[in-house]
Amino acid sequence: MMCEADAGDRENADPAFSALLEDSAEDLYENAPCGYLSTLLDGTIAKINATLLGWLGHDREEIVGRRRFSDLLTVGGRLYHETHFAPLLRMQGELGGVAFEMKTATGGRLPVLVTSTVKTGSDGEAQLIRTTVFDASDRRAYEQELLRARDEAERERDRAQRLVKTLQQTLLPPALAEVPGMQVAAYYHPASADQVGGDFYDLFPINDGTWGFFLGDVSGKGAPAAVVTSLARYTLRAAAVHDPDPTVALGTLNTVLSQQFRGTDPRYCTVIHGRIRPHGDSATLTLAGGGHPPALLIRADGTATFVPILGGQLVGALPTARFAAVDVRLEAGDAVLLYTDGLTEARTHGRARYSEEQLRADLTGLAPATAPAVVEAVTDLLAGFGDGVEDDTALLAFSIPQSGGDQP
């Protein structure tokens, strides 16, 4: 009521306003600031407004009753219209904001946004399709710019991931050394394609009859961690040559890390470093460690036990650190697994953390416990955790084949 009174007052008071109200429906339709058209259900254009004809440069006689709406689109747009627009419009009765390009009479293209509704009769039967068309030239240019920026960002990400992969590969041995009479296997699971991980391992000959190995995990991730990983690898490998006692090599690494990174940005790592001396169908394994999860020993009879290295400290955290070593004798059918905590701290399907104890239970009874079989079993576990593996995981396993086994 109030509105009517207001409008009446205003009409009387303001001649400019009353002139507006004399707009005819016809003029509103023909010269609306958007294109209008109505088509039969088969798309034949029955009615089109002057605005759209003007944009396209067509005469009314060429269009009405002679062309379908999809005839005014580019061929690719027509494909899209037939496979997406028309079926969706049929099913929903309306569809809005769909981007097309219309062809103009002079061969140009007009980017538009199209909205259509199906008009139904009183019996509910579809009768015709009403469509509005908005000039979207500016918007399309902006969208193209966004798409271009997105493509560029994707290319940049690919490039960064390739770089990370390459860097990661340089931190891992391209191939493991062969140890006569033994099987060895390793696996590296990167938690992220975007960041270099902080786990590392290697197996290498020291002298006739002795091989050295290590597997470790440096604090942090990304480029800063990669610097420590690289330093740790080369330091351990060089130090291992000079002294038969692996705790001495760990002491050297401790000194190097604590000197290099002392101050506000301490860097440290956990490592198991050791050596293997095969003799006949058995071998002696010396394991020395600092702060690392214990190696898992799986005997030929399927029992699995941890090999604790008592008294070892983190490497690089203190200027002087103590490291301990333990000897393990491997017989035919025995296997040893070294791993990083990316495995034991992965989230399982119940979202609880996996654990060393569950690992021991899962690998108990694994027979034959060859190095490849152990690594495969753990790799399957990791695959089962999916994105629950939040940190990088490195695996390194040794085994002695059963006599008459399949060792070449």
Partner 1 sequence: MCPVSMRTRNNVVETGRQDGPVLLLAHGFGCDQNLWRLVVPALAEQYRVVLFDHTGAGRSDLSAWTPERYGTLDGYADDVLALCHELDLTDVVLVGHSVSAMIAVLAANQEPDRFAKLVLLTPSPCYIDDEDYRGGFSREDIDELLEALESNYLGWSAAMAPVIMGNPDRPELGEELTNSFCRTDPAIARVFARATFLSDNRADLAKVSVPTLVVECAQDAIAPPEVGRFTHENIAGSRLVTLDAIGHCPQLSAPEATVAAITGFVSGP
Q: Which residues bind partner 1 (CB under 8 A)?
A: 41-43, 70, 74-84, 86-88, 90-92, 95-96, 98-101, 140, 143, 147, 384
Name the residue nearer to partner 1 (CB basis): 263 or 350: 350
CA–CA dist 42, 35 (Å, integer): 20
Q: How far is the CB of 185 from partner 1 (least distance, A)?
A: 22
Q: How far is the CB of 96 from partner 1 (least distance, A)?
A: 7
Instruction: Point out which residues pair with 210 in neighbouring strands.
Output: 207
Q: How far is the CB of 99 from partner 1 (least distance, A)?
A: 4
Q: How far is the CB of 101 from partner 1 (least distance, A)?
A: 8
Q: What is the DSSP letter of 71?
A: G
Name the residue nearer to partner 1 (CB basis): 132 or 247: 132
Please report, to the nearest 10 degrees, the dihedral formed by the alpha carbons of residues 219, 220, 221, 225 taken in order: -60
Using the structure block, give the residue that is written with the tokens 């990174």: 261
Name the residue nearer to partner 1 (CB basis): 95 or 225: 95
How many residues are present in the chain? 408
Name the residue nearer to partner 1 (CB basis): 6 or 71: 71
Give, for 76, the enclosing helix (H) or strand (E).
Answer: helix 75-80
Q: How far is the CB of 94 from partner 1 (least distance, A)?
A: 9
Name the residue nearer to partner 1 (CB basis): 78 or 347: 78
Q: For residues 395 and 186, is the Cβ–Cβ distance under 8 A?
A: yes
Name the residue nearer to partner 1 (CB basis): 60 or 150: 150
Q: How far is the CB of 378 from partner 1 (least distance, A)?
A: 15
In order, the DSSP letters of 218-272 are: ESS-HHHHHHHHHHHHHHHHHHHHH-S-HHHHHHHHHHHHHHHT-SSS---EEEE
Q: How far is the CB of 28 from partner 1 (least distance, A)?
A: 27
In order, the DSSP letters of 91-145 are: HHSEEEEEEEEEEPTTS-EEEEEEEEEEEE-TTS-EEEEEEEEEE-HHHHHHHHH
Residues near 348 by Cβ (< 8 Å), separated by ≥ 6?
354, 358, 385, 388
Name the residue nearer to partner 1 (CB basis): 42 or 265: 42
